[in-house]
Structure 1
Amino acid sequence: MLEQNQYTEDNIRSLDWKEHIRMRPGMYIGKLGDGSSPDDGIYILLKEVLDNSIDEFVMGSGKTIEVTVKDKTVTVRDYGRGIPLGKVVDVVSKMNTGGKYDSKAFKKSVGLNGVGTKAVNALSTYFRVESVRDNQQKAAEFSGGKITLDEDVIDTTKRKGTKVSFIADETIFKNYKYRNEYIIKMLKNYCYLNTGLTIIYNGEKYHSDNGLKDLLGENINEEDRIYPIIHLKDEDIELAITHSKTQYSEEYYSFVNGQNTTQGGTHLSAFREAIVKTVKEFYGKSFEAADIRKSIVSAISVKVEEPVFESQTKTKLGSTDMGPNLPTVRTFINDFVKTRFDNFLHRNPEVAEALLKKILQAERERKELSGIRKIARERAKKASLHNKKLRDCRVHLTDTKNSRSLESTLFITEGDSASGSITKSRDVNTQAVFSLRGKPLNSYGMSKKIVYENEEFNLLQAALNIEEDMENLRYNNIVIATDADVDGMHIRLLLITFFLQFFPELIKEGHLYILQTPLFRVRNKKETIYCYSEEERRAAINKLTGKPEITRFKGLGEISPDEFKFFIGEDIRLDPIMLDSATSIQKLLEFYMGKNTPDRQEFIINNLKVELDVLEE
């Protein structure tokens, strides 16, 4: 008879805080990633350290924060009060230790759980903290959360404050690199939310005098606004509102206690509802909510006591109340919008008239679309029962309580062979595949009608679930996976045109990527190296002894499913599609997809890169 496994006290193991964070990093910082996505772990580490410096500014200490990122070393220096010297080691290495439990000091802080800097410490190969108070300095260094240097308190002439430096662990964050665009966007948001704060990043200064008005000003060009930005604020709330002349969908920037809640939450739902209610009452008309909010570009920031978020990375607010014994978030936002927005419209009749025209235009367009939308929906309903275009995954971005929701990815592929390879090698939990048939339509200059008339666009919109708004977007990452040849490049451009034309926030919010696939495979009998550039190919040839076999991949269809799993697994390489905030989407589309052929030809000739395939024999 087989002996049964014994279940005794010996089977139960208690992990200390360092081991737990290193074993389950996703619980603390969301997804890991390599830095190609704005919500990758390396940016969360920076944010966790920065939040402490921001809290010092909020408490009235230190108007300047210096941030430097050099290679992989990140340093944050503030001029706040400095950590009490006797607690420097505990604050960064003992769980549930921090100054934010005294709710008088940090009533409306973001990082209330005392985990932030401990997670950074545990996930770094090098972590140093220095605190200066009363002309004295205390410093300590750690590796993987374990203390390696505990310096004595020394006298110093340095200005008071705290300085933290860290290098994220490359065994946890594979092949990572920081992208300036994401860091700058994060730092600008901190400045918009904390007027009077100056952040110096690698020598460049960022500052805002007008808060969310500046944020909207940076994200929607003046000539694209139907009316000037409306800016309303009070002690615990700030709003900025305008409508776009050219954009179809709604666009929101939402924040709670200085945290960018990219997935919205109770405050954003309340704001969207309050705008509709106030507008209906102001004009005395029962407009459709979608007509009022169509093309709105706005920002909301609220301060909530003891906020409850739906995940550790705090991207969606779950709190229903503004704080203990305070009104609900919904009531508070509704009352503020009803009073202040309504007053603004009464005092600014030219804005009220422009808004009314926009709503009536949206109503006309919706009625024109309603017939074709109904037909498209019926067609999509039938198609979805046996829709061969979408091979879905199990976890979606809307599953906020699932720790893998941020990994949800939709690959848009072209051709059966590429779709087949990705489908067979994907992670069915988090990776879905949408197959295109040939080249998509060039949607430049077309109206929203085309999204419903074109079966592929309609099914893609349905797969993403973004017909009404971005709130129910099903995938965090939308990845265009096409061949790197001329046809593949053209398909990429057509898809990017579609998203820019009808759903630009997908790009603005950092959801759209191009999949990098290897150009070469270099191997000998012992090792295989996949190379993404000529330099990597040369390095691989030098590394592998003898005469390695070199294969040039011409297209995705040539890569077998067994090999493909290496390119879409933990070592996936993605190129984010980014939109410069100063760029007008209309001008961009006009240049690349319009009828200005001579200008475009000149651009292509001036920027043409000829790549020669020099394969060494």
Structure 2
Amino acid sequence: MAAEKPIYTEDSIRSLDWKEHIRLRPGMYIGKLGDGSAQDDGIYVLVKEIIDNSIDEHMMGNGKQIDIVITDKKVEVRDYGRGIPLGKVIDCVSKINTGGKYDSGAFQKSVGLNGVGTKAVNALSAYFKVQSIRDGKTKVAEFEKGELVKDHKETSTTEKNGTMITFTPDNTIFKNFYFIPEFLEEQLWNYAFLNAGLTINYNGKKYYSENGLLDLLKRKADVESIRYPFIHLKGNDIEICLTHGEQYGEEYYSFVNGQYTTQGGTHLAAFREAVVKTVREYYKKDFDASDVRSSIIGAIAIRVQEPVFESQTKTKLGSQNVAHEGPTVRNFVNDFVKRELDNYLHQNSTAADALLKRILQSERERKDIAGIKKLANDRAKKANLHNKKLRDCRFHLDDEKSDKRYESTLFITEGDSASGSITKSRKVETQAVFSLRGKPLNCFGLTKKIVYENEEFNLLQHALNIEDGLEGLRYKNVVIATDADVDGMHIRLLLMTFFLQFFPDLVRNGHLFILDTPLFRVRNKKETIYCYSEEEKQKAMAKLGVKPEITRFKGLGEISPDEFGHFIGENIRLDPIILTKEITIPKLLSYYMGKNTPERQQFIIENLKLEKDAPVVDEEKVSAEVVE
């Protein structure tokens, strides 16, 4: 019997109010949701949307300080700008298309032009409070999931003008969320670098910069290995800074109106193009573009009126004019770089000589591996047709039309049993598996030639599609999935060495993770609890009562595919590999993968604990040390 067709009438048409629409389609407003383990997860976008409003006030000359307090789940942001007009406090945080950003006279070249950000935060928060202080009076309103629950009367106050927003993300939308301090600190440093003279106080720590992008690159780069002093150039609505180092790849930080455009866009493409063009003309030689840009460390910040971003989260700038009657962004950036960088090179011959040597070195290195690279790529193309190491998924990060692209994940495993468990339990649409054969080569101190000579490394870089940079990266998350024992930890370090040495951008841009899998299963006849630490095991034993059955997982291969599905599904636990400013990549690799120094021997001894059934590294402590 054929199924009845659904009835389509006037009653089928439904209008959602603003908060219902945001809660039903949060990805349209804040990108992916996530639990906080990735730096572009939604909870960080919520924080950013609120701070952006305070930054816009500062840019307009109102307020030189922003106070931020972020505890376990609650966020509080207080600025000292003009304060929201008291009669519009509720409308500004709960009515779409209401806000000062639509008045171009009130906000020139601001970040949040569409007036949606604060409303999205309100709708996606279990609790949201707004307070405006303006000329001796204050107004407060409280919301839950976008619904007004308390409208306070205006009262008198002696507090300074400004706005305070307090919110708690809704844990029914952001499941098991948590804030990672390093991600928040990175956000706040960027705000400080782009707003010289602004003081940001976050949980008692001060963030302040006097020299803008110069301070940013000093913090990011390995200053000891740069080939020439930072070139720092500033103009009206544009600032650039660059140098060349010794690392592989290109490293860029790009900003529009104070927004960190992690995916670049028109302005970054123009910057990369202009540097090559200017260098070729200065030296009167048609260098290969890759040789000019190899090992470059650069930053660009521009300010434009009414920027057009490619999404609500504003991570990529589209094509539009700098001003309605002005040049395009591409021409604006090109003209500035050509004029100012050319002048700098003519006036600083020592830096110009050092730059030329770096370009010629890159040219030699490229030609040295050209032959082996061609052979390796030919082998990889043939292997890709029947790549036994890769069990691919259907949707990838570079599938721009797919709404599942940001879920794409590659698990890198070792051994047939572990690979088999993940392969059988994975989501075929978005999760792929790359199987290693034993321990990978320790590539510390080797040149990039080894990436092509070593078949496993070559196939891995082709599976990821990162040979020429991250533009074509096929997976949003690259997850190292190894056993929680000494051998598994060693494999992790070897893989991290590979990525940090040859593809550091993959790590810098937050794509590399460690899969956290349970160490114990505690169960009785009614309930099963998976535990990721000794502390969790003790709690589970107390909860389940008399003599529960306890299983210690010695390796991933011991976990059945049915069980493994729980650990790589909705409740997956990923530990991000985070690079902080305290230690540079060369020093990091030298410490962990170089000669066995007394310091490293002592570290290993202190962090190795022996248990009855197997030697196990204290992973939590080691992971923290590795990335810090």
Tell me how far 1:449 sits from its aligned partner.
0.3
CA shift, 1:610, in A, is 4.2
Structure-1 separation of matches of 2:346 and 2:401: 43
Q: Compared with structure 1, are the counterparts of its residues 258 and 611 closer, same or farther at alpha carbon in structure 2 (3 Å cutoff)?
A: farther
Count of residue pairs brought into register by the alignment: 613
What are the superposed Cα offsets for residues 488-543 of structure 1, whole Å, 9 maximum, x if unpaired? Answer: 11100100111111112222222211100011122233332211111212222222
C-alpha separation between the residues in 2 aligned to 1:281 and 1:151? 65
| SS at 1:451 equivalent | helix
Between stretches 328-337 and 5-14, larger displacement belongs to: 5-14
Q: Distance in 2 between matches of 1:551 and 1:20?
A: 45
* Greater shift in the superposed pair: 159-168 or 411-420: 411-420
* Kept after mapping to 1: 8 A contact 2:182/2:580: no
For the residue of structure 1 that corresponds to 2:167, the secondary structure is: strand
Counterparts of 1:551-590 in structure 2 under 5 Å? 551-590=551-590
What is the CA–CA distance in structure 2 between the aligned matches of 1:320 and 1:396, rounded to whole Å? 28
Question: Where do 1:41-190 residues align within 5 Å?
Answer: 41-190=42-191
Alpha carbons of 1:107 and 1:8: their partners in 2 closer, same or farther (altered >3 Å)?
A: same
DSSP 3-state at the match of 1:68? strand
Partner amino acid for 2:358?
K
Q: Deviations over 1:68-104 (max 9, x none)?
A: 0122111000000000000100111111111101122
What do the CA deviations read for 1:351-403 (whole angstroms, capped 9, x no partner)?
Answer: 00000000011111111110001001100111111112222223333345544
TM-score, structure 1 normalization: 0.96
* Correspondence for 1:341: 341
| Paired position in structure 1 for 2:332 | 332
Deviation, structure 1 residue 54: 0.4
Quick check: 1:61–1:79 contact (8 Å CA) kept in 2? yes
Give the Cα separation in 1 of the matches to 2:51 and 2:29.
16
* Residues 412, 436 of structure 2: 8 Å contact kept: yes
| Map of 2:619 onto structure 1 | none
Please tell me whether the aligned partners of residues 136 and 159 of structure 2 are also in contact (alpha carbons under 8 angstroms): yes
Structure 1 residue 347 displacement after superposition? 0.4
The CA deviation at 1:172 is: 1.2
2:418 & 2:256 partners in 1: Cα distance?
A: 42
1:610 and 1:547, CA in 2 relative to 1: closer, same or farther beyond 3 A?
closer
Shift of 1:586: 1.7
Question: 5+ unaligned residues in a row in structure 1: which ranges?
Answer: none
Task: Give distance in 2, aligned partners of 1:538 and 1:613.
Answer: 17
What displacement does 1:546 show? 5.4
| Aligned partner letter, 2:165 | V
- Give the drift of 1:597: 4.4
Equivalent residues of 2:444, 2:589 under 8 A apart: yes
SS in 1 for 2:142: strand
Residue 603 to residue 522, structure 1, CA distance change in 2 (3 Å): closer
- Separation of aligned partners in 2, 1:611 and 1:575: 23
Distance, in Å, in 2 between the alignment partners of 1:310 and 1:212 is 24
Q: 3-state DSSP class of the match of 1:471? A: helix
Decide which moves more: 22-31 or 136-145.
Answer: 22-31
Residue type of the partner of 1:153?
A: E
Q: Distance in 2 between matches of 1:599 and 1:131?
A: 53
The residue that corresponds to 1:356 in the other structure is: 356
- SS at structure 2 position matched to 1:603: helix
2:413 paired residue number: 413
CA drift of 1:600 comes to 2.4
Q: What is the alpha-carbon distance in structure 1 between the residues aligned to residue 110 and residue 584 of structure 2?
A: 36
Q: Which moved more, 1:85-94 or 1:3-12?
A: 3-12
Q: C-alpha offsets along residues 108-144 of structure 1, whole Å, 9 cap, x if unaligned?
A: 2221121111111111111110000010000000010
The equivalent residue for 2:467 is 467
Q: Report the Cα distance in structure 1 between the residues aligned to 2:305 and 2:396, rounded to whole angstroms.
A: 30
Q: Which range moves more in the overlay, 223-232 or 473-482? A: 473-482
CA distance in 2, matches of 1:271, 1:426: 41
Question: Which shows bigger deviation, 360-369 or 9-18?
Answer: 9-18
Q: How far off its partner does 1:105 sit?
A: 2.4
- Which residue of the partner structure matches residue 518 of structure 1? 518
Alpha-carbon distance in structure 2 between the residues aligned to 1:304 and 1:349: 33
Query: Is the CA contact (8 Å cut-off) linking 1:26 and 1:403 kept in structure 2?
Result: no
Task: Give runs of aligned pairs for residues 466-485 of structure 1, distance below 5 A.
Answer: 466-485=466-485
Asked if the contact 2:60/2:108 (under 8 Å) is kept, the reply is no
Q: Secondary structure at the match of 2:480?
A: strand
Alpha-carbon displacement from aligned partner over 1:197-255 (angstroms, at most 9, x marks no partner): 110000110000110110000011321110011011112111110000x2011111111
Q: Which residue of 1 aligns with 2:494?
A: 494
Superposition deviation, residue 545 in structure 1: 4.9
- Quick one: distance in 1 between partners of 2:561 and 2:28? 31
Partner amino acid for 2:251? E
Percent identity for Structure 1 against Structure 2? 69
- Deviation, 1:272, is 0.8
Q: CA RMSD in A?
A: 1.6
Q: 1:13 to 1:544 in 2, by over 3 A?
A: farther
Q: CA deviation at 1:174?
A: 1.4
CA distance in 2, matches of 1:234, 1:472: 33
* 3-state DSSP of counterpart to 1:422: helix
Partner amino acid, structure 2, of 1:174: K
TM-aligned CA distance change 1:98 to 1:395, over 3 Å: farther
C-alpha distance in structure 2 between counterparts of 1:240 and 1:342, whole Å: 14
2:26 is matched with 25
Q: Bigger shift: 228-237 or 311-320?
A: 311-320
**Greater Cα shift, 317-326 or 482-491:** 317-326
TM-score by length of 2: 0.95
* C-alpha contact 1:396 1:475 (8 A) present in aligned 2: yes
Aligned equivalents of 1:578 and 1:512: distance in 2? 8
Match of 2:625 in 1: none
Letter in 2 for 1:501: Q
Kindly report which structure 2 residues correspond to 1:160-559, keeping only aligned pairs within 5 A, or say none: 160-244=161-245, 246-400=246-400, 402-545=402-545, 547-559=547-559
Instruction: Give, in whole Å, the separation in 1 of the partners of 2:22 and 2:210.
Output: 39
107-116 vs 394-403, which deviates more?
394-403
Using the alignment, how far apart are the partners of 2:557 and 2:112 within structure 1?
Answer: 47
**8 Å contact from structure 1 (residues 142, 148) kept in 2:** yes
Q: Which amino acid aligns with 2:480?
A: I
**SS of residue matched to 2:472:** coil
- Cα distance change on mapping 1:240 and 1:399 into 2, 3 Å: farther
- Alignment CA distance shift 1:527-1:20 (3 Å): farther
Between the aligned partners of 2:208 and 2:595, the Cα distance in structure 1 is: 40
Letter in 1 for 2:608: L
Alpha-carbon distance in 2 for matches of 1:63, 1:92: 23
SS in 1 for 2:267: helix
- The runs of 5 or more residues in structure 2 that have no matched partner are 615-628
Instruction: Write the distance in 1 (CA, Å) between the matches of 2:233 and 2:402.
Output: 36
